[in-house]
Amino acid sequence: MATYINGLAGSAGMDTALLWVIFGGFLEPLWVIGLKKWNETKSILWGIFAIAFIFLSPACLAFAMDQGMNVGVAYSLWTGLGAVFTLVSGVILFKEKLDRMKILFVFVIVAGVAGLEMCTELGI
C-alpha cells in the first residue's frame, strides 16, 4: 500500500492524479456540448457522443482518486475546471455572452481551485 503525503500518494501519484483531474475537466464540456446538440437535432450520434463523455469524464475523476488524491480536492478541481471549460466552450462555440460579472466569478472559481491545490500541497 502506498504511503500518503498531503492526500496524494508520493509525487508520481500527485502528478498522475492531477493530470487525470485536468483531463476529466477538459472532457466535461464535451458531454454538455453533445447534450445541447442532441437536444437541438435529436440525432442519435449526438446522444451517443454525450453519453460516452458522461461516463468518461467521471472515470477520470475516479482514476485521480485511485492515484491517491483526496475526494474533496479531486471533486472540487474537476467541477471547477469543468465549469470554466464549459463556460469558455459556450462563448467560443455558441457565441454566448461573457460580461464582467461572469469573468469575475470565473476568477473566483479559478482562485478557489488554486487555493484548494495550495492547501493540499502545504498539508493544510
User: How many domains, the chain?
Assistant: 1
Local confidence band at 11 (pLDDT 50, 70, 90 cut-offs): low
- For residue 32, give its domain range: 4-122
Candidates 108, 19, 32, 89; CA nearest to 60 is 19
Global pTM value: 0.79
The mean pLDDT of 108-122, rounded to a whole number, is 84
Whole-number pLDDT of residue 36: 96
Whole-number pLDDT of residue 123: 80
71 near 8, Cβ under 8 Å?
Answer: no
Report whether pLDDT(117) > 90: no
Of 13 and 86, the one with more pLDDT: 86
Whole-number pLDDT of residue 3: 40
